[in-house]
Structure 1
Amino acid sequence: MERRSFLKNTGLLTAGISLAGTAAMAALQPSVIKANKLPKWKGFNLLDFFSPQPAGTNKPTTEDHFRWMRDWGFDFVRIPIAYPSYLNIDRSRNITPEEVYKIDEQAVEKIDQLVTLAHKYNMHVSLNLHRAPGYCINAGFHEPYNLWTDQAAQDAFCFHWNMWAKRYKGISSKKISFDLVNEPSMREDMNDQHSPSKAVPGNVYRKVAQAAATAIRKENPNHLVIADGNSVGNNVIPEIIDLDIAQSCRGYFPGAISHYKAPWANKDPEHAPAPLWPGQVGDKYLSRGMLENYYKPWIELAAKGAGVHCGECGCWNKTPHPVFMAWFGDVLDILSTHQIGFAVWNFIGDFGVLDSKRTDVQYEDWYGHQLDKQFLELLRKH
């Protein structure tokens, strides 16, 4: 499909939807919709530095990708980073606590280059430690200590955030923010992704978040700091509401829809019950009502002025496309109604609008990529 024609057509579609949406919003009671302290950013997670291995493991985000995002109306990218990716260490053995401080300047400069390119296309950049010293929701790297229980890990965590804050000391909070650690939880075995996890004790999360925010704001008191929800991003963190730290929710609920047959999220993925929306899935009836209950604490948090954004959302490619679209349409409608922005995981790949490898989608060619136009139009609508 010719690019200019596509942009024109989808632009007309979006304009029509916007007019209808404006009328619908106007019909709501003013008390229903509260101002969110954070802008209603919408965009994608970029996985260039997601792996603990040095950059190059994942295909890099290019200038064309940013141009497409901008032309399609997106203004936000979240960059989840595994801190070992920018360390100068011996990768043939487990990392030591001392090596956590061995910054590889050339590797850090590659992250700088991605941030600069995003800013060229007017994207707000959210830097996130997907793997922080002592914690990651994913297996695949042996940590030398535990972020939630060891002071040495917390000191290293603050060191890394101070480094990033210093590099972007002069950048406006309108252009960059710092998302402390991805999807916190207490896990019985951090090297087993199926190990049971539970919430980080509130006082512990407060201590770690407050220390990191202080390390960041030492360089610029106006830096914007964001904390992912507790219990793997699901729960509001009441213990930090007074700390001027925004909070990030998730758009993966319920997992029976978003992570259908995903091997990292299911112990027996091949026998997962077929997803429906709405409908009976296993022993639960899944519906928009359950979504509204799930997001109610986040909506109330935004109304209190804490600032809320959905840092990750989307659906793995094994969920039937019609089910995915029906469910995700409800997710986005709830978030959008309350002025909460979102970032899809990811732009190109299994969760993305490009090259998702779904088997039940009629793709359109987009400069050699396979474009899920229906998914893109749903995102643009909100």
Structure 2
Amino acid sequence: MVMLARERAGALRTMACATVLSLLACGRAPDPLPPLRAALDEAFETEVVITLGEDPQDSIATPGIFRERADGGFLLSDRQLPRVRSYDARGRLEAAFGRFGEGPFEFRRINGLTETARGRVAVLGSAPRLTYLTANLVPDTIVQLPGIPSGIEQIGSDLLVGIKLFTEATRGVSRFVQQPRLLHRLVADEIAWSAYTFPFIPLERPYWASLVRFSFDVAGDSIYMAYSLRYPVTILNAAGDSIGAIGVPPGTFQPVPVFEPGAFNPGAYPTQMPELLGGRGTISHIAVVGSHLVVVHGRFGYPESGGPFGAYHSSLDIYDRYTGRKLYEEVPLPEDSRVLGGGRHLYLLQNSSFPPWRIAKLSLRVEKPS
């Protein structure tokens, strides 16, 4: 019954998308979204809902990576287009940059985005380089990287970058017996240290490679690193040393199992995997919000996730970062919403399937209301 309800919800979203397009074509704005569901309101107060401003000649395909800026505004990448945009705190568009290509200051897609301590904007594409833009998104400089980047965060005056390093073994079979280090601290654009070893070799978990995701966030000198298919969240210090862990999966969390090599018939793989993954849990994202850590749970399931191997954001666990105490467990997220990121607040994209794009700016209730 649950799966039927989800399929019906997916069909309704498709109809809703067509309705929105029809309304826009007729010059009418769609009806406002309903308030956030009560369960989410128990954990958060909604300070404001920001409607993103858009250039009619340069509209957003889908909101992607979100980053708070020091001045109270924010940066936002496009999930489908190689574009980066800057907004003020009220969601008014300030600047945009990005063009498709392989050349300097060109991107095929955006894999990482952050503001540096000096106010520049650091952007990662799919090429092995780090692109700097000015605060106003004007091309600045390019730094070559020793591998393919996958994420970036500011730590002090330096940067943390997820990089799969190039090695001679990368082009050979021996890559299947390596466990590379994934997290690297850049000091003056040079790697100062590398940490967080890949938690398994592909031969051990041959079907996990297409499902695994890594996310990390920073608070002061503490680094939180999450591997999507396994608990807990690892805590590193500023030197890259593991100093602890945080997070316990809820009782209803169903992890993705380890399948032995040869478990699937190649011809049946596209249908077998979605059936086995349906409803399984994952850590889709982590976000530091002040003195707390928000762990975003995802669920594999089609059509909510947009594809048979994707995971949609389903609920939140919230921890006190200093004590490790779990304050809230499995706070359900509204349907079709997606957590964008943290910082001084938690930012939730209220409707991830169609415009107008609205971002709820949430403040955590430290204690549960009586």
TM-score, length basis structure 1:
0.33
Structure number having the greater helix percentage: 1
Structure number having the greater strand percentage: 2
Q: Which has the higher contact order (CA 8 A, sep 6+)?
A: 1
TM-score, length basis structure 2:
0.34
